[in-house]
């Protein structure tokens, strides 16, 4: 599984803050196609991570330390 790239993190963070594509492009100094691609790929990576976690939870695959870490992470949202 891939992690989020710095470009994906920055674009998704700005999008989450309510910025429009044009504003994100200006802030990041990246072409619109690069910003759009970063957002699309970042969202897909997050969706894949959620799917993996869902399977791990449903199948009882998490050990105690993983469960605690996930619980702590979820407490932050």
33 is a domain residue: yes
59 is a domain residue: yes
1 is a domain residue: no
Q: Is the model's pLDDT at 1 over the cut of 70?
A: no
Q: What pLDDT, on a 0 to 100 scale, did the predictor assign at position 58?
A: 96
Alpha helices in the chain (DSSP H): 6-16, 21-28, 32-58, 64-74
> What is the spatial distance between Cα 7 and Cα 28, in angstroms, rounded to a whole number?
8
Residue ranges making up the domain that contains 15: 6-74
61 is a domain residue: yes
51 is a domain residue: yes
64 is a domain residue: yes
Q: Count how many domains the chain has.
A: 1
Reported pTM: 0.86
> What is the spatial distance between Cα 2 and Cα 49, in angstroms, rounded to a whole number?
9
Q: What pLDDT, on a 0 to 100 scale, did the predictor assign at position 19?
A: 98
pLDDT digits (tens, 9 = 90+) for 6-46: 999 999 999 999 999 999 999 999 999 999 999 999 999 99
């Amino acid at each position: 599984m891939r992690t989020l790239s710095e470009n994906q993190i920055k674009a998704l963070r700005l999008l989450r803050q309510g910025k429009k594509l044009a504003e994100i492009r200006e802030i990041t100094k990246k072409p619109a196609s690069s910003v759009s691609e970063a957002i699309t790929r970042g969202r897909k990576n997050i969706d894949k991570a959620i799917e993996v976690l869902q399977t791990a939870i449903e199948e009882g695959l998490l050990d105690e330390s993983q469960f605690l870490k996930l619980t702590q992470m979820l407490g932050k949202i």
